[in-house]
């Protein structure tokens, strides 16, 4: 077993995908010239709306454990998951993650950050590495972040009012020790504003589904991910 995971997308997505919505599920990435490309508009993930940490876009997702990656839908969408196939560790404590990427983004207050998720006794807890945002420029650039076990550098996603049985807050060290759901590169936070008046609390509704939102307040653009390397501690 290697201690370093490398995906360069020269042989397809390698298990990486985007997300269409909660009904349709995984969305294929465009592989162009050996890079995984994602473009706006991105779906608004409302599963962590206040009182959770807020809304996010999900440009890049990789399943790190479990049987879902072997489902025909995921294989058709994302190809063979090389992270699982090569049996890499799910202990991300102090893992060093290096990305080679470029793009053009109108961020509108959002940042590209790492998200890790683990499930412990039926509860999934997601943590965002908001203390180490990943900048995106028009030229190819390498960015390195480290999954330190310091809660001050992370933001726990929590859950919206009706998802507390599925999502919640678990200790960061426990989540890092076994990231057994997925890792993502996400855009967070999002400035979700309803288009027109609504009488209900918008956070109790589903943004983009129960009511339209102002797209002009959301991130816009594209990202090209040429390579991702994870060095496990």
Domain ranges in the chain are: 4-231
Q: What is the largest CA-CA distance in the chain?
A: 56
What's the pLDDT at 22?
Answer: 83
Q: Tell me which fold the domain 4-231 belongs to.
A: Jelly Rolls (2.60.120)
What's the pLDDT at 69?
Answer: 58
What's the pLDDT at 74?
Answer: 86
Environment class of 175 (CB within 10 Å of its CB; exposed 0-12, middle 13-18, buried 19+): buried
Each residue's pLDDT tens digit, 25-56:
899 999 999 999 999 999 999 999 999 999 99
What's the pLDDT at 72?
Answer: 75
In this structure, the chain runs to a length of 233
| Residues of the chain predicted below pLDDT 50 | none
* pTM of the shown model: 0.95
What's the pLDDT at 179?
Answer: 97
- Where would I find the H helices in the chain? 72-78, 82-85, 172-177
Taking the C-alpha atoms of residue 143 and residue 31, their distance in angstroms, rounded to an integer, is 20
């Amino acid at each position: 077993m290697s201690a370093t995971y490398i995906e360069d997308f020269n042989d397809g997505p390698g298990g990486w995908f985007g997300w269409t919505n909660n009904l349709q599920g995984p969305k294929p990435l465009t592989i162009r010239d050996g890079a995984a490309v994602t473009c706006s508009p991105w779906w608004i993930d409302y599963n962590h709306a206040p009182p959770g940490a807020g809304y996010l876009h999900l440009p890049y997702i990789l399943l790190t454990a479990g049987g879902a990656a072997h489902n025909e839908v995921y294989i058709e969408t994302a190809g063979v998951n090389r992270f699982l196939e090569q049996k890499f560790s799910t202990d991300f404590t102090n893992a060093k993650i290096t990305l080679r990427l470029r793009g053009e983004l109108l961020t509108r207050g959002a940042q590209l950050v790492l998200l890790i998720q683990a499930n412990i006794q039926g509860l999934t807890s997601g943590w965002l590495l908001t203390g180490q945002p990943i900048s995106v420029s028009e030229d190819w650039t390498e960015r390195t972040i480290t999954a330190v076990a310091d809660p001050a550098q992370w933001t726990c996603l929590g859950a919206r009012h009706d998802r507390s049985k599925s999502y919640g807050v678990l200790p960061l060290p426990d989540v890092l020790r076994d990231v057994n759901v997925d890792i993502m590169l996400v855009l967070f936070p999002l400035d979700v504003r309803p288009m027109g008046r609504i009488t209900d609390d918008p956070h109790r509704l589903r943004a983009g589904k129960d009511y339209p939102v102002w797209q002009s307040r959301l991130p816009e653009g594209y990202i090209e991910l040429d390579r991702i390397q994870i060095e496990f501690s």
